[in-house]
Amino acid sequence: MKILIVDDSKAMRMIVTRTLRQAGFGDHEFLEAENGAEGLALVDTAAPDLVLSDWNMPEVNGIEFLQALRAKGNQVRFGFVTSESTDTMRSLASESGALFLIAKPFTADTFADALGGVLAA
């Protein structure tokens, strides 16, 4: 299974990857993109099974990324990993097709709980 991690911070992409491995998802292939524009291109070329995206990024932010995917008819499983998590953001994420929103800071258990059902589906 391919997991695309989209975040403008290289350090955060590394932390997310490490935490996913700690949560038991180390046997998956990890891809990275720096923003939603790169993410859109990678979704087209690499066809990931799951996208984990930050919300606040330059060029194309996370919600614009998700909405662009859905507008193209792409139903890839999608979740946010972000530092902000207001009720408005959670509602917008859900309405736009995100399966979950994980707030930073997070733990391996946070990922195991959020991804357990998503990756089994």
- For 45, the 3-state DSSP assignment is helix
- How confident is the model over 44-59, as a mean pLDDT? 96
Indicate whether 21 belongs to any domain.
yes
Calculated CA dihedral for residues 40, 42, 43, 48, nearest 10 degrees: -150
Q: What is the mean pLDDT of the chain?
A: 93
The CATH number given to whatever domain includes residue 19 is 3.40.50.2300
DSSP annotation string for 59-102: SS-HHHHHHHHHHTT---EEEEEES---HHHHHHHHHHT-SEEE
Indicate whether 19 belongs to any domain.
yes
Does 121 have pLDDT greater than 60? no
Indicate whether 118 belongs to any domain.
no
Indicate whether 32 belongs to any domain.
yes
pTM for the full predicted model = 0.94
Q: Worst-scoring range by mean pLDDT, 16-20, 35-39, 100-104? A: 100-104
What are the pLDDT digits (tens) for 53-77?
Answer: 999 999 999 999 999 999 999 999 9
What are the pLDDT digits (tens) for 71-112?
Answer: 999 999 999 999 888 899 999 999 999 999 999 889 999 999
10's tokens: 């290289």
